[in-house]
């Protein structure tokens, strides 16, 4: 069976200008049946431009009063505005796609179970100090605080690592654990350094990191997934969208609107060079909010969701194709309400 499952990560470098740089890592696969092997697909394609219909306008925005309230809360929030293509010239963008490369998640030092708003630490934790433990717990508590329970009932586990290649990642549900999603902090040591050197920016780092990761959690909600698909079949990503995600799921709708015209062989390539990735982005620059978003459908969804949450509707550039992806989320009243809730909670945290 050839199925792609990803560990989703957002690696971050924070300087004096609060520049967030995204680092891509993705290789986790659903277990295959015995005797089956996944063959590597190496891209030999010339990246090409693609387009999608610009069907949405600000008139499509649902719950205008709710949107205005969210914008009002965003104005109160001290976070810097997200910049389009902010990661374009950063070294971390100069990597290709390699689904077979083993990335270091870090050394696991703790595992928590999440039940509602409560954390339960499993035995064997390896925190070196109470400060480390508090920093790890503050991160996940801050994250849980901005999400209503109905959107995170399937977020059941939290893992803490040190010295990982990324900052955080999400492990989506699998057939045998369909109601279980895990959030992991891969670089507790980076958070400790931030807490010491840039304490006033730590919360912003937490939230920008988590909102991206929550985009993945949102796209893999169990009620959006079809766990009855024949696991003996080899599925391309487009086939996966059709068979593994319900018709009305956020991710399948997003794929249908914005990725259906991308060459399927490019989408499914297991290896590409960063030069190929860079050319693909340059050819389609206005289709994505960041270089990282151009990696695959999953990162595009999460990056677009991040910008949806943290960009005022009045700042949307309707002339750009990537704005269609932000307007996509505005079609769903429940996500508009979620945006207001998240922004309100972040403002409340800053006002404590």
Is the Cα dihedral 285, 286, 288, 292 positive or negative? Answer: positive
Tell me, yes or no, whether 327 lies in a domain: yes
pTM of the model: 0.87
Tell me, yes or no, whether 318 lies in a domain: yes
Instruction: Identify the pLDDT of residue 275.
Output: 84
Cα–Cα distance for residue pair 88/5, rounded to 1 Å: 26
The whole domain housing 38 covers 8-350
- CA distances (Å), 63 to each of 75, 122, 329, in order? 19, 43, 12
For each of the chain's 352 residues, which pLDDT tens digit applies? 333 333 444 433 333 223 333 333 333 333 333 333 444 555 456 788 888 988 898 887 778 899 999 999 999 999 999 999 998 877 666 677 766 566 678 899 999 999 999 999 999 999 999 999 999 999 999 999 999 999 998 999 999 999 888 889 998 776 656 678 899 999 999 889 888 778 888 999 999 999 999 999 999 888 888 766 555 456 677 777 877 888 899 999 999 999 999 988 888 887 888 888 888 999 999 999 999 999 899 999 999 999 999 999 999 999 999 999 999 999 999 999 999 999 999 999 999 8
Instruction: Identify the pLDDT of residue 32.
Output: 31
Instruction: Identify the pLDDT of residue 101.
Output: 64
* Residue that has been written with the tokens 């958070």 in this structure: 191
Buried b (16+ CB within 10 A) or exposed e, 89-128: ebeebebbbbbeeebebbebbbbbebeeeeeebeeeeebe
Instruction: Identify the pLDDT of residue 4.
Output: 37
Q: What is the DSSP string of 100-167?
A: TSPP---EEEEEEEEETTEEEEPTT---SSHHHHHHHHHHHHHHHHTS-GGGSTTEEEEEEEES-SSS
| HSE toward the beta carbon, residue 165, CA cutoff 13 A | 14
- Pick the closest to residue 180 from 145, 148, 220, 230 (CA basis): 220
Instruction: Identify the pLDDT of residue 176.
Output: 59
Q: Does an H or E element contain 185, and which?
A: strand 181-185
Biggest CA–CA distance in the chain, Å, is 57
Which neighbouring-strand residues pair with 114?
Answer: 119
Tell me, yes or no, whether 1 lies in a domain: no
Tell me, yes or no, whether 229 lies in a domain: yes
Q: How many domains does the chain have?
A: 1
Instruction: Identify the pLDDT of residue 110.
Output: 97
Tell me, yes or no, whether 2 lies in a domain: no
- Pick the closest to residue 283 from 263, 265, 268, 255 (CA basis): 263
330 and 313 Cβ atoms separated by less than 8 Å: yes
- CA distances (Å), 222 to each of 8, 9, 47, 139, 180, in order? 17, 20, 34, 24, 9
């Amino acid at each position: 069976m050839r199925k792609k499952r990803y560990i989703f990560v957002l690696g971050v470098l924070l300087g004096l200008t609060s520049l967030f740089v995204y680092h891509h890592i993705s290789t986790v696969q659903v277990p295959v049946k015995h005797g089956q092997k996944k063959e590597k697909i190496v891209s030999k394609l010339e990246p090409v431009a693609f387009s999608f219909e610009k069907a949405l306008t600000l008139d499509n925005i649902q719950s205008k009063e709710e949107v205005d309230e969210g914008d009002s809360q965003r104005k109160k929030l001290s976070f810097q505005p997200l910049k389009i293509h902010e990661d374009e010239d950063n070294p971390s963008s100069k990597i290709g796609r390699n689904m077979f490369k083993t990335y270091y998640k870090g050394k696991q030092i703790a595992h928590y179970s999440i039940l509602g708003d409560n954390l339960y630490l499993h035995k064997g934790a390896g925190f070196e100090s109470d400060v480390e433990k508090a920093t790890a717990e503050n991160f996940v508590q801050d994250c849980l605080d901005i999400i209503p329970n109905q959107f995170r009932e399937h977020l059941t586990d939290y893992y803490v690592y040190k010295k990982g290649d990324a900052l955080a990642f999400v492990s989506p549900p699998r057939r045998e654990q369909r109601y279980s999603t895990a959030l992991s902090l891969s670089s507790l040591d980076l958070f400790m350094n931030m807490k010491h050197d840039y304490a006033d920016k730590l919360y912003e780092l937490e939230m920008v990191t988590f909102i991206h990761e929550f985009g993945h959690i949102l796209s893999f909600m169990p009620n959006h997934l079809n766990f009855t698909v024949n696991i003996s079949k080899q599925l391309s990503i487009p086939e996966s969208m059709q068979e593994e995600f319900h018709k009305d799921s956020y991710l399948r709708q997003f794929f249908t609107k914005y990725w259906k015209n991308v060459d399927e062989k490019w989408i499914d390539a297991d290896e590409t060079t960063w030069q190929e990735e860079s050319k693909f982005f340059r050819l389609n620059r206005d289709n994505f909010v960041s270089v990282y978003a151009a990696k695959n459908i999953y990162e595009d969804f999460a990056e677009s969701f991040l910008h949806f949450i943290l960009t005022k509707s009045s700042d949307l550039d309707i002339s750009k194709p990537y704005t269609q992806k932000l307007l996509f989320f505005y079609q769903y009243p429940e996500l508009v309400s979620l945006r207001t809730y998240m922004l309100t909670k972040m403002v409340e945290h800053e006002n404590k």
